[in-house]
Structure 1
Amino acid sequence: MKLLRNQKHRGYTPILDELLDPVNQLQGDHKEGFYIGVELPEDDPDAQRTFYGPNLWPDSDILPEWRQTMEKYRQEALEVVRKTARLIALALDLDFDFFERPQMLGKPIAILRLLHYGDQVSDTAKGLFGAGAHSDYGLITLLATDGVSGLQICKDKDARPQVWEYVEPVKGAFVVNLGDMLERWSNGVFRSTLHRVLGNGKERYSIPYFVLPSHDCVVECLPTCQSKENPPKFPPIKCESYLLGRYRDTHADLSTYNEH
């Protein structure tokens, strides 16, 4: 609790802190986590921007080399995201390095989360979930998981009733979620992945890495994804404004936990 999530969304998030599906959830997610963002010293001009700045780190006497391990993982995982973004760009008839331009992934908002799900058993009929149904906010999410099942996806999020299926963990592989920002950018050509986590009585760990473009990047429907039959579906929006709005919708008030 000494490293409780701050206003820049760094540090520890307690169980029930997030409410991802307020329509169907009775209470918040049955998971706890730890946010790690882009590390910048306080005297860096960009450190004042939302989602940039110094991280909250456990004391090195308690967890030696943990910070170095996390920073190395973030750096190497970002290269995987960039390579994946090249394939997406080519699929959208763009230059392969479209998403790597300075105003996009040249200076991204990249957020690593370490998640721990307890041994609760979810009950969808009672609104109890490890993580409620949602799609990720950003461009791409790179997800590493342990060997415990729990992740479900809904391939057609507009279907009623929705059909859910498990994504079984594959050793040594990442799950790649497409985010809402990519759906906006591609004018619906790519759909963001609706997913949730159900607890099955076993502890579970996962590491999602959420990657978005720079703060000032304006996300608008790409010309290559527009036609008379498919006009723009989404208005332009600045990345920072979009992300802040989504965070406000999903996090409980921190004062609840400060009182304890």
Structure 2
Amino acid sequence: MNLPIIDFYSAESDRLSTAISIRQACIEYGFFYLVNHGVENDLVRAFDESKRFFSLPLEDKMKLAYKEFRGYTPPDPSLGLQGDSKESYYIGPLSDSTSANLNQWPSQELLGNCRPSIESMYWKLFGVGKKLLSLIALSLNMDEDFFEKIGAEDKPAAFLRLLHYPGVMGPHDEICSAIQILARSPS
């Protein structure tokens, strides 16, 4: 299935047309790709920081173990090949100091720019989300600032979740590997 592509840059010049495209995509598919949103460079930096974080030794990551809906969660070994073998790192809302202080960050000595890079991406994505909400309001034939007026942006509860899939082989890969080994074995 080819999902619709919404060009966020075009929204600057033709908001109504972009809103109509969003509405159509949501009605027909329920999803869409958002391109030219302006956070591409931040995403690259965040992926680099994410890669650095997940490459840390487990004992360093476990110092940031998940609590208060934030922090590191290791893969669940009990799931084996049947489950979702990802590890994750949650960053909670940054909009108020009480909530933001619950976030757990690797030390600057350990990962230097990790926190500023991730926080920068968080805020830029949040800004894109606010603009997207105004387009969604337009797509519903409402005022652009509808969600702002009703307070939907007052205390945002946006979480950022970094994921890492360690690349465990699935049953099909094991079968293929076994076949390759058998094919090389002398008869």
* TM-score normalised by structure 2 residue count: 0.51
Query: Which structure carries more strand by proportion?
Result: 1
Q: How does 1:63-74 map to 2 (within 5 A)?
A: 63-74=111-122
Q: Take 2:171 and 2:132, find their aligned partners in 1: how far apart are those partners?
A: 35
The counterpart of 2:90, out of the listed 31, 35, 49, is 35
CA-atom RMSD, angstroms?
A: 2.6
**Structure 1 position 69, deviation (Å):** 0.8
Pair 1:54 & 2:102 matched: yes
Query: What are structure 2's unaligned runs of at least 5 residues?
Result: 1-61, 173-187
Which of structure 1's runs of 4+ aligned residues deviate more than 6 A? Answer: none
Pair 1:107 & 2:155 matched: yes
User: Which residue does the alignment assign to 2:164?
Assistant: 116
* TM-score normalised by structure 1 residue count: 0.37
Pair 1:94 & 2:142 matched: yes
- Aligned partner of 1:88: which letter? I
User: Which residue does the alignment assign to 2:124?
Assistant: 76
Pair 1:11 & 2:49 matched: no
**Structure 1 position 123, deviation (Å):** 5.7
**Structure 1 position 65, deviation (Å):** 1.6
Distance change >3 Å, CA 92–CA 121, structure 1 → 2:
farther
> Retained in 1: the 8 A contact 2:86–2:166?
yes
> Retained in 1: the 8 A contact 2:69–2:90?
yes
**Structure 1 position 80, deviation (Å):** 0.8
Deviations 1:48-76 (A, max 9, x none): xxxx6421010110000211111111111
Q: Take 1:82 and 1:12, find their aligned partners in 2: how far apart are those partners?
A: 27
> Retained in 1: the 8 A contact 2:74–2:86?
yes
> Retained in 2: the 8 A contact 1:16–1:27?
no
Deviations 1:110-166 (A, max 9, x none): 101111112124469xxxxxxxxxxxxxxxxxxxxxxxxxxxxxxxxxxxxxxxxxx
Pair 1:85 & 2:146 matched: no
Task: Classify the secondary structure of the residue corresponding to 2:88.
Answer: strand
> Retained in 2: the 8 A contact 1:89–1:98?
yes
Q: Take 1:27 and 1:121, find their aligned partners in 2: how far apart are those partners?
A: 11
How many matched pairs?
Answer: 109
Identity of aligned residues (%): 41
Q: Take 1:123 and 1:105, find their aligned partners in 2: how far apart are those partners?
A: 45
Distance change >3 Å, CA 93–CA 122, structure 1 → 2:
farther
Distance change >3 Å, CA 35–CA 76, structure 1 → 2:
same
Q: Take 1:63 and 1:28, find their aligned partners in 2: how far apart are those partners?
A: 30
**Structure 1 position 16, deviation (Å):** 2.8
Task: Classify the secondary structure of the residue corresponding to 1:38.
Answer: coil
> Retained in 2: the 8 A contact 1:30–1:118?
yes
Query: Which structure carries more helix by proportion?
Result: 2
